[in-house]
Structure formats: C-alpha cells, structure tokens
Amino acid sequence: MSDLFKIPLNTKTKLLFSTSGSNSSIHRHNTAIQKLGFNLCYFTFDGEISAKNYTDAIRAPFVNGGTVTAHNGLKSKVIPFLDYVEPLAQQTLAVNTIINKDGKLYGYNTDCYGLHTALTKGIKESKQDIKTAIIYGNGGVSGVAFKVLQDLGIKVTIIGRNTEKVAQKRKELGIENIPHFEGPYDLVVDATPISSSPELEQNTQFIDLVKDAKIVFCHAMPEKDNKKNYLLEYCNQNDISYISGEDMYIAQLIQQYKLYFENLDSQRKITEKDIIEAWGLYN
C-alpha cells in the first residue's frame, strides 16, 4: 500500500481491485470501507493490464471483486473471461463490476443505472424537452448510453471520427439496422476524452453537434485528474445545459459497492444511505 495510507491486513482480508486510480482514490475508498467495518482492502493497478491478466487476478481466492474502467476498451474485453455476464452487460457490451463467487467470475453493469439517474435528473433540472440525442464516440459508454436513451424514449443515433469503428460498434450492439438520422439533436452524449483537450473547438464535427444542442452529457471527469474541462467551459459560455459524469459515477458507485458488500457478507445489509455517508457523497 501507499505510504499515504495504512490499513491493517490479516489472513481473512479480501482485496478489491480497480484498473485505474490514484493514491487519493486508494485513500478515499479504503477510508469509506473502514467506516463501514468491512475487512476489505481497495487496491488499484498502476499502468496497463490486459483483460486476461486482470480477470486472472480477480479469480484469486483472496479477492472479492474488481472495478473495470473504460480505459483501452477493457469493459468489453473482459467479457470472454467471465463465467457469467448479466443480460444488461451483454446487451451493452460493457462490464464495469466483477464479483468473485467461489472462484467463478460474475460480470455486471451498474453504469446503466448511473447514466439513467444522471440523465433523468439533469433533463428534469434543465426543464428542456428532449426528444432526440446523438452519442459521439464508440467507447464502452456508447453502448450503455444507447440502451439508456432508448429506455427513456429518446430517439438516438451514434457517430464519431472513425466511421469504421462506429459501424463496428453498431454491429456489435445489434443496432446496425436502426437508421441514422440527421440533427440538430436535443442532447449530445460525449463518449470520448475530448473534454480535457485544449483543442476541443478544433474538432468541428463535435462542436457543430454541441452548439445546436440543448443539453450536453460528458462521461469523463477531467477535474478528477486536476485537468481543465474545456467542454464544460464551452457549454457555460454558450448557455448550454451540462450534465456532469460525476452524477453518473456517484449513482453507479452506490449500486456497485452494494454488490461488493453483499458478496463479502450476505448477512449484513448495507443501504444506499450507508454508502452515501461513508463516501461523503452529495456533500
């Protein structure tokens, strides 16, 4: 563990992995876990790790589970190495939560819940009438976004810089027969890391979508890594409502840790309120 954080370990301590994170996230998650009194230690990997190596690590008998972040397409790449994948994760081609149940790996998607919560809240607060949406990018969040937007009754399509990758993503999701339609679009979902780029406005394909939108949702959280959010700045300057990825992250984290804790101790019932208080969410 980092010198910045000390946690007591014993022979019954279980580990909880993540494919990305920092010393501050190690401190934050372990502090919250200790507040709830679980014998569980959160640990992140530094650098790249393959889907096979990550799932092999989670399968160890002393590991409770692992979080899968969007980096390098891992949310889709881990799927072949799992013993069970819930239907929602199969449909969206995205697993962000893996549970080790006696050596068998179970894959879940709590991102859909998080995005549904964030969009529902953001659209309501904006008081905008949202009937159409476009997803920009073909990363792991694109499948989640397509599913959620359809569930909300919003007409949706996907585009991106790389048309071949977008076409492949549509095929993988089984939506290649859903016709593309032209904008303007009421809602733009940014499924790329472009929000932290100082060259944001030079991507005219993306900016042309944003400038005509009523609302923009960005799944990335540049501020988390002490980076400037150029997309948020652009939206503020142009009177466009902005829904932060943090709203999605918080909602999905609550569901994710309920899965982790239930697997660790099924007799102990941890509520949403318990997790909110331990992590200091919504403060």
Residues with catalytic roles: 75
Cβ-proximal residues to 265 (8 Å cutoff; 6+ apart), any chain: 38
Q: Residue 181: how many CB atoms within 10 A of its CB?
A: 11
What is the sign of the dihedral through the CA atoms of 249, 266, 61 and 87? negative
Place of tokens 């993306």: 206
E-strand ranges in the chain read 14-18, 40-44, 63-67, 84-85, 97-101, 104-108, 132-136, 155-159, 187-190, 215-218, 241-244
Residue pair 190/231 in contact (Cβ under 8 Å)? The answer is yes
- Residue 203 Ramachandran class (φ > 0 left, ψ -120 to 50 alpha, else beta): beta
Using DSSP's 3-state secondary structure scheme, residue 276 falls into helix
Q: Rounded CA gap, 204 and 210, in Å?
A: 10
Using DSSP's 3-state secondary structure scheme, residue 87 falls into helix
Q: Residue 41: how many CB atoms within 10 A of its CB?
A: 22
Q: How far is CA 200 from the centre of its chain?
A: 22
